[in-house]
Structure 1
Amino acid sequence: MIKNKVSLITLGCSKNLVDSEMLMRQFTENGYIVENDPARINSEIVIINTCGFIGDAKEESINMILEVAELKKQHKVKNLYVMGCLSQRYLKELQIEIPEVDQFYGKFNWNELLRDMGKVYHKELATDRILTTPGHYAYLKIAEGCNRMCAYCSIPIITGRYQSRSIESIEEEVRKLVSQGVKEFQVIAQDLTYYGYDLYKHFALPELVERISDIPGVKWIRLHYGYPSQFPYDLLRVMRERDNVCNYMDIALQHISDRMLKQMRRHITKAETYELIERIRQEVPGIHLRTTLMVGHPGETEEDFAELIEFTQKVRFERMGAFAYSEEEGTYSAKHYEDNIPAEIKQERLDRLMRIQEKIASEINEAKIDQTYQVIIDRKEDNYYIGRTQFDSPEVDPEVLIPADLPLEIGEFYKVKIKEAQAFDLYGRVLF
């Protein structure tokens, strides 16, 4: 156990990661050494930034808290603090069940941790961060909360109403990150589509993206977690006109059956969903769409699932993930519907859906053979450099593997010709 050293363990989504990076910067300003490796804890202070979104994530967070609590019992850790979504939602229960934790903080009051330790929270560093990603890319959180109130989702319960950051504060953060060497920005929020409405009385995402793209040094902007209803179509013009705005959109659709969309309270119909996708692809040729689909929501029939299969086969998403419904207490679905689909049927549907998507992904990747793409290099592993095209977000999308027979610079862009393709990876050669 090393004194004046903090281990900050981040669980869950990239939005949590941004909070952790901001807190780490505050600790360094207060004279602490910080690290973020959960596999190697040798600090006197451990902070766990938790996720409380779905059952598996909650279980992972609780297990990590219990693991560190055991280290504290063994006097290998002096202080244990917990913050984030799980403690925001279950504060009282956690205080009773895990008394080894010195203090719990929620999603929005983690800056009080410093004050409770007798340290200073530096407001002038509110947008400063210590990046835990490779230095050439960063996540850029533009809002908190969500106003959509989908039937199955606990996020609004945890984070509350939508709160946009001002365009000016986001620009300031981007300029700081560019000065540190960041070239690529993953723009994130629970719902990008709604951005700006609470501040400016109109959906301001297109304006925000334009202004970020104007900042010298911003090479790639990639957009995550759009919502299909009330989609700001002017964003497509921005994508089309700006070379540094990636032709990529992550937009969770969840289902296609009108009956299920209504039960899920998604505020969109099957016909409108098809029209949205068609318009996006017409206005931004070559765009890669990532979506997330759900199986096993209460009431999903075989007919509903068949529609989802047909939708997946027709639309042929370039990127797709899926998950089985998990009942979350306090949500509309938990209050009004019985979780009546057996776990084995949920799993069978999920497996079938992903088998279809794997075939689609393989075919899409195979079509890239002999094509040339701009690739940014993330890292080197064994005999390969690992990179991504503009169509690939870190950690969730395919990567490009390039033989390490010639030296390449991490964080630099290269033209790469694709030579081989698999379902979730591409293999290529740099063109000098």
Structure 2
Amino acid sequence: MKTRSRKQDKVNIITLGCSKNLVDSEVLSGQLKANEIDVVHENEKLDHNIVVVNTCGFIDKAKEESINTILDQVDLKRRGKLDKVYVTGCLSERYRNNLEDEIPEVDAFFGTMELPLILKKFGIDYKAELIGERLLSTPQHYAYMKISEGCNRTCSFCAIPLMRGAHTSRSIEELVTEAKRLVSMGVKEVMLIAQELTYYGLDIYKKRMLPELLNRLADIEGLHWIRLHYAYPSKFPLEILDVMKERPNICNYLDMPLQHASDNMLKAMRRQITKAEMDDLIYQIRDRVPGICLRTTLIAGFPGETLDDIQVMQDFLTQHRFERVGIFTYSHEEGTSAHDLTDDIPAEEKERRAQEVMEVQQEISYEKNQLLIGKTFKTIIDKKEAGRYIGRTEFDSVEVDNEVIINADTPLTIGEFANVKITKAYDYDLEGEVVK
């Protein structure tokens, strides 16, 4: 098939997986757009001729979704609907050789750190000066900002270091520049993401520098909310909490994946922390920042996990009453140290255990939400659906946490803030009305 000239190219980027992948896609979009190449995210008009699939390779379900998406795009190419199909991201990084053999119709595969090579396919060079020049795929009022890449941890279940490499921090100056540029684009909320947020700065500054970064970001005029995702509990830098308490535009919100609560499992997972140490850390966090929203994620079904271990996890949730909890079932990933263990728990049992744990959290979430009725919260308006506005408080991140369904007599502006009084509460969502 004859490929259209570059002036006619329109590129569609399909992003799978986590918010880190989303940022990578946005950066790619910014580079293409700066070079006058038409680019869109998740194009529904199907008027593009080139596709870049940014894949996820984290767990089995994500890998399956990535493979199916690639095959769908290859089928479109086979039927003459596309000229080129490129594949990048974690799955491509991890299984490139296999994918090249099994899906030869893909025009090229790229790893997670090969953006310049992708751009070469379009006849352009990477422009380092385009810090923050991203084509946002999120609504204009919020954005994710990746402060580092990779991870130095050796958690036995995790394949991320295989796909993303060692921890590499971005400089404070670069991040401040990017945040200012995002604010100039209309962004009011920045969600800081990293595989290991609290490790930030150790590689380039020889000490943990997240508190300094937070202070510098909090100084940016027009940046209303700064949200922290993916903090590691071992050797947690408590001074982060002091900055959070002092700076009003840093949300009283911390996403800290703990993965389990049983000492047996924590040791097998190589988490470098005990349950007693986690207990102490959580008490310190709540003491230093009263009213903080703590979010965590857990894993059910790790090799050797017993029903007693699941009970410990449930008791742990009852003890600490986290505001937000997510749970994954264990995925047996080649290349990880846990892959040497026997994956001895059937998939159905993993799911049953995860559901059992979430039933405990569901009750906790309902009880905590009931306590919010009658209280008023600063709420950002995210969207309008079925005639009602949907927003979030500072205690809720995008997609994974509570939403506030808002009944408003007068029109609200998407991306602006409103004071909302909570009138009803459910397991995971709230209803409220705007108050002056």
Is this a same-fold pair by TM over 0.5? Answer: yes
Aligned with 2:58 (options 46, 53, 56): 53
Shift of 1:117: 2.5
CA distance in 2, matches of 1:313, 1:101: 49
Structural mapping, 1:154-303, within 5 Å: 154-303=159-308
Q: Is the 8 A contact 1:4 1:31 kept in 2?
A: no
User: Residue 122 in 1 paired to residue 127 in 2?
Assistant: yes
Structure 2: distance between partners of 1:266 and 1:85? 23
In structure 1, the residue corresponding to 2:322 is in which secondary structure?
coil
Give the total of aligned pairs: 431
1:22-421 alignment runs, 5 A limit? 22-37=27-42, 39-335=44-340, 337-421=341-425
Say whether 1:429 aligns with 2:428: no
Amino acid across the alignment from 1:382: A
- Aligned partners of 1:382 and 1:151: how far apart in 2? 45
Q: Could you tell me how far apart the structure 2 residues matched to 1:62 and 1:40 are?
A: 22
3-state SS of the aligned residue for 1:346? helix
Deviations 1:145-191 (A, max 9, x none): 00111000000111111000000000000111111111111000001
Match of 1:6 in 2: 11
Cα deviation for residue 39 of structure 1 reads 4.7
Distance in 2 separating the partners of 1:61 and 1:78: 20
Which deviations, in whole Å up to 9, do the C-alpha atoms of 1:72-110 show, x marking residues without a partner? Answer: 000100000000111011111111110111011110002
Q: Give the TM-score of the pair, scaled to structure 2.
A: 0.97
Q: Distance in 1 between matches of 2:43 and 2:311?
A: 42
Q: Structure 2: how far apart are the matches of 1:366 and 1:354?
A: 18
Q: Which amino acid aligns with 2:393?
A: T
Q: Which amino acid aligns with 2:95?
A: Y
Matched residues in 2 for 1:121 and 1:170: separation?
A: 18
For the residue of structure 2 that corresponds to 1:111, the secondary structure is helix
Cα distance in 1 between the residues matched to 2:125 and 2:347: 49
Q: Which moved more, 1:32-41 or 1:102-111?
A: 32-41
Give 1:122 deviation, angstroms.
2.2
CA–CA distance in structure 1, aligned partners of residues 215 and 131 of structure 2: 24
TM-score normalized by structure 1? 0.98
Contact 1:23-1:111 at 8 Å conserved across structures: no
TM-aligned CA deviation for residue 113 of structure 1:
1.4
Inter-CA distance 404–255: structure 2 relative to 1 (3 Å threshold): same
Residue deviations 1:231-275, cap 9 Å, x none?
010001001111000000000001111111100000000100000
Q: Are 1:42 and 1:77, in contact at CA under 8 Å, matched by a contact in 2?
A: no
Q: CA deviation at 1:203?
A: 0.8
Q: CA deviation at 1:41?
A: 3.0
Gaps of 5+ in 2: none
State the identity as a percent.
54
Amino acid at match of 1:330: G
- 1:42 deviates by 2.7
Structure 1: gaps of 5 or more residues: none
CA distance in 2, matches of 1:343, 1:92: 28
SS of residue matched to 1:193: helix
1:172 and 1:316 map into 2 onto residues whose CA distance is 38
- Alpha-carbon distance between aligned partners in 1 of 2:143 and 2:122, rounded to the nearest angstrom: 29
SS of 1:198's equivalent in the other structure is coil
Aligned partners of 2:401 and 2:211: how far apart in 1? 24
Contact 2:11 2:38 in 1 (8 A): yes
